[in-house]
Amino acid sequence: MAVSPGCKVRVLYDFEGDRPSGELAVYTDEILTVTRTDVGEGWWEGIGPDGSRGLFPEAYVELVEYPAPPFNDLHPIPSAPLHNQGSVDTADGWEDEWDDDETVSNYSGGDQESTVSSLPRRHTNSGMVRTGTVRKSMNRFSHFVKSGGEAYVIGTQQTDVKVPHNERVSIKEDGDRITWCNNPDPFTCEINSPEKKSKFKGMKSFIAYNITPSNTGVVVSRRYKHFDWLFGRLVEKYTSISVPPLPDKQITGRFGEEFVEKRRDKLQQWMNRICLHPVLSQSLVFKHFITCRDNEKEWKQGKRAAENDKLVGASFFMTVDCPPQRLELVQVENRMEQFGRFIKSTDESVRSIQDRGQVHCEKCQGSYRSEYKKIGSTFGSLSAAFAIDLDSQSSQQLTQALEHTAKTYDDIGELIAEQPKNDFLPLIEGLKEYSGMLSTYPDVLQVHKGTIGKVKECQRLKDEEKMEDSTFHEVCLRADTITNVSFAEMSHFHDQKVVDFKSMMQHFLQEQISYHQRVIQRLEESLKMYDNVQV
């Protein structure tokens, strides 16, 4: 719909916005005044009935001038994006006008960074209409429905799509676990040498990052917008795989040396995650991303192939080869419920450590540092007082020992202030990455939850003799495929969790030990000064 600033729009669905992030809380039938439509990522900015200003999803509103749909009171189905940072661009050139950090609002309702990170999927009251033997959900914002999961499970999805051999994905049983088959040719990618470049005779500038895959050794140059495009393709294709989010977009300071290096580091972390994933690392779109050099024709061909890929969303399940063993519905449901609780609890704990660590860092650079320096100052005052009247050698030695003690506590204050960059800050950064990955799992779990619900519905229809046994059997086989994919993804997360948290905690504790050893060393040096005092 053609909407410009100043237009009035009516709210179609309730949206409990996150006010600290600059979002509006809006409710059905409220009238909003649009102030910006160029925020990007499916968001607009507007003013609510109470005068508050903030962001709201474009797909949740309609122009008040729009007539009501005929024959019923259902609103048009909105086209809300499924994930947060992915973008599909119709242009396909190497230097198309889809730019790095242009589609993000500088609006912020609080102290958080001014970025739009996600468009939530809201759930309206779900009506059901019967189509054949299986009821089809009309929940417009169900990730299960919009990804094609429902159509796949009940067998109404297009099935004549050919699956190339290089697109097939294998899952195996590993003891009592279900896991992805490993990448037979694992590799890494190194991102380095970020360079500021320009085009249009210097009118447009951007940062290019050099990527070197270990399996080819051939350097390719990519901008942030290319990473963003890749992210969007991966998110669309793999709805039951956790695709880690990209680092946030940025409006100002994009060319500052510190920002560029920090973004390079975060892009490296993101690239490491993709390379470690047995499925994502072997995807054709990722291979195109890391191997296509500065050949515009080749890039266009690969880009078009990825954007016209038929094996995306639920169609991806057609590419999966699973173990033949049937899975018990009750056991599957219990396992998924347990993993859901694990994700929720882990996310809360990770955020708690981040919050506590941030407070600790602030205290180290503030009150803790100040307290030790004050202690040093008091010992220094006593040393200065003794120095006024040095009537013997032993008195002079004592004064020197006190002076050394004062400096020791002053030094400890500085050590405390410097220590967070060695232990807590790296830990917090690692946990922030995990917070981002954990945030992707609700959609992954929702696909499987929808699958379980559809299987139960088909079970009832079979029991009522409204569905053939053979049809129900096919539904169960397709549901087992989704379950195997979910289980394999869960196993991958746990495997990476063990590696990552072992490394993070080892580094954290080693730095803590090193810090306390330095403090002990300085205290021992001061203690030895008193051994020289002759009594």
pLDDT above 90: residue 136: no
pLDDT digits (tens, 9 = 90+) for 65-101: 644 444 334 333 333 333 333 344 444 455 554 445 5
Q: What are phi and psi of 125, to 5 degrees?
A: -60, 125
Say how many Å lie between the first and final Cα of the chain, rounded.
92
Percent of the chain with pLDDT over 70: 81
Tell me how far apart the alpha carbons of residues 505 and 357 are, in angstroms, rounded to a whole number.
13
Tell me how far apart the alpha carbons of residues 288 and 213 are, in angstroms, rounded to a whole number.
12
**Angle, alpha carbons 237-240-244 (nearest 5°):** 80
Does 420 share its domain with 518?
Answer: yes
- pLDDT-based confidence at residue 131 (cuts at 50, 70, 90): very low
- Which range, of 21-35, 196-210, 338-352, 478-492, averages the lowest pLDDT? 196-210
Does 357 share its domain with 494?
Answer: yes
Which residues span the domain enclosing 11?
A: 7-63
CATH number at residue 21: 2.30.30.40
- pLDDT-based confidence at residue 145 (cuts at 50, 70, 90): low
How many other CB atoms are there within 10 angstroms of residue 29's CB atom? 8
**Angle, alpha carbons 425-430-436 (nearest 5°):** 125
Tell me how far apart the alpha carbons of residues 42 and 503 are, in angstroms, rounded to a whole number.
38
Does 237 share its domain with 341?
Answer: no
Does 404 share its domain with 287?
Answer: no
- pLDDT-based confidence at residue 250 (cuts at 50, 70, 90): low
Our measurement of the distance from residue 393's CA atom to the centroid of its chain's CA atoms, rounded to an integer in Å, reads 66
- Which range, of 36-50, 171-185, 204-218, averages the lowest pLDDT? 36-50
Domain contains 120 = no
- pLDDT-based confidence at residue 435 (cuts at 50, 70, 90): very high
Q: What are phi and psi of 315, to 5 degrees?
A: -65, -20
pLDDT above 70: residue 139: no
Q: Which of 270, 287, 321 is the last residue of a domain?
A: 321
Does 416 share its domain with 524?
Answer: yes
Does 424 share its domain with 466?
Answer: yes
- pLDDT-based confidence at residue 158 (cuts at 50, 70, 90): low
Does 467 share its domain with 363?
Answer: yes
Domain contains 313 = yes
Domain contains 110 = no
Q: Are strands 128-131 and 61-63 parallel, antiparallel or unpaired?
A: unpaired
Q: Which of 296, 321, 346 is the last residue of a domain?
A: 321
Q: Which residues contact 473 (CB under 8 A, 6 or more apart)?
A: none
pLDDT digits (tens, 9 = 90+) for 283-317: 999 999 999 988 889 999 999 999 999 898 889 99
pLDDT, average across residues 46-64: 86
Q: Which of 298, 321, 344 is the last residue of a domain?
A: 321
pLDDT, average across residues 222-236: 93
Number of domains in the chain: 3
Nearest to 176 by CA among 487, 477, 500: 487
Percent of the chain with pLDDT over 90: 56
pLDDT, average across residues 266-289: 96
Structure tokens at 254: 């994009």
User: For residue 246, what is the DSSP state?
Assistant: P
Q: What is the DSSP string of 179-200?
A: EEPPPSS---EEEEEEEEEEET
- pLDDT-based confidence at residue 277 (cuts at 50, 70, 90): very high
- pLDDT-based confidence at residue 162 (cuts at 50, 70, 90): confident
Does 229 share its domain with 194?
Answer: yes
Domain contains 154 = no
- pLDDT-based confidence at residue 150 (cuts at 50, 70, 90): confident
Our measurement of the distance from residue 96's CA atom to the centroid of its chain's CA atoms, rounded to an integer in Å, reads 26
pLDDT above 70: residue 115: no
Tell me the three state secondary structure of residue 160. Answer: coil
pLDDT, average across residues 375-380: 97
Tell me how far apart the alpha carbons of residues 389 and 404 are, in angstroms, rounded to a whole number.
18
What is residue 95's predicted lDDT score, i.e. its pLDDT?
53
What is residue 159's predicted lDDT score, i.e. its pLDDT?
66
- Decide: 244 and 270 in contact? Cβ < 8 Å: yes
CATH number at residue 508: 1.20.1270.60
89-92 long-range Cβ contacts below 8 angstroms, 24+ apart: 89/229, 92/299, 92/300, 92/303, 92/304, 92/307
Tell me how far apart the alpha carbons of residues 227 and 206 are, in angstroms, rounded to a whole number.
13
Domain contains 34 = yes
pLDDT digits (tens, 9 = 90+) for 378-387: 999 999 999 9
pLDDT above 50: residue 332: yes
Give CA separation, 457 vs 132, 143, 153, 469, in Å: 13, 18, 11, 14
Domain contains 100 = no
pLDDT, average across residues 381-410: 94
pLDDT, average across residues 364-368: 95
pLDDT above 50: residue 41: yes
Q: What are phi and psi of 62, to 5 degrees?
A: -140, 155
Domain contains 160 = no
Does 314 share its domain with 428?
Answer: no
- Decide: 101 and 204 in contact? Cβ < 8 Å: no
What is residue 202's predicted lDDT score, i.e. its pLDDT?
65
- Decide: 232 and 86 in contact? Cβ < 8 Å: yes
Domain contains 69 = no
Residue written as token pair 């990455």:
433
Our measurement of the distance from residue 291's CA atom to the centroid of its chain's CA atoms, rounded to an integer in Å, reads 25
CATH number at residue 199: 3.30.1520.10
pLDDT, average across residues 245-253: 73
Q: Is 309 left (phi over 0), alpha (psi -120 to 50) or beta?
A: beta
pLDDT above 80: residue 133: no
How many other CB atoms are there within 10 angstroms of residue 133's CB atom? 16
pLDDT above 80: residue 211: yes
Angle (deg, nearest 10), helices 424-438 and 469-531? 170
- Decide: 415 and 518 in contact? Cβ < 8 Å: yes
Burial label, 274 (beta-carbon count in 10 A; 0-12, 13-18, 19+): buried
Q: What are phi and psi of 381, to 5 degrees?
A: -65, -40
Q: Could you tell me which residue, 170 or 66, shows the higher pLDDT?
A: 170
Residue written as token pair 């400890």:
412
Residue 131 carries which side chain, given as an amino acid letter? T
| Average per-residue pLDDT for the chain | 83
Does 350 share its domain with 238?
Answer: no
What is residue 331's predicted lDDT score, i.e. its pLDDT?
92
What is residue 77's predicted lDDT score, i.e. its pLDDT?
36
- pLDDT-based confidence at residue 247 (cuts at 50, 70, 90): confident
Q: What is the pTM of this model?
A: 0.72
- Decide: 289 and 222 in contact? Cβ < 8 Å: yes
pLDDT, average across residues 325-347: 92
Q: Is 207 left (phi over 0), alpha (psi -120 to 50) or beta?
A: beta
Tell me how far apart the alpha carbons of residues 372 and 240 are, in angstroms, rounded to a whole number.
52
2-7 long-range Cβ contacts below 8 angstroms, 24+ apart: 3/34, 3/37, 3/44, 3/63, 4/34, 4/37, 5/34, 5/35, 5/36, 5/37, 6/33, 6/34, 6/35, 7/33, 7/34, 7/63
Segment of 128-137, 140-149, 247-256, 442-451 carrying the highest mean pLDDT? 442-451
Does 526 share its domain with 377?
Answer: yes
Does 317 share its domain with 338?
Answer: no
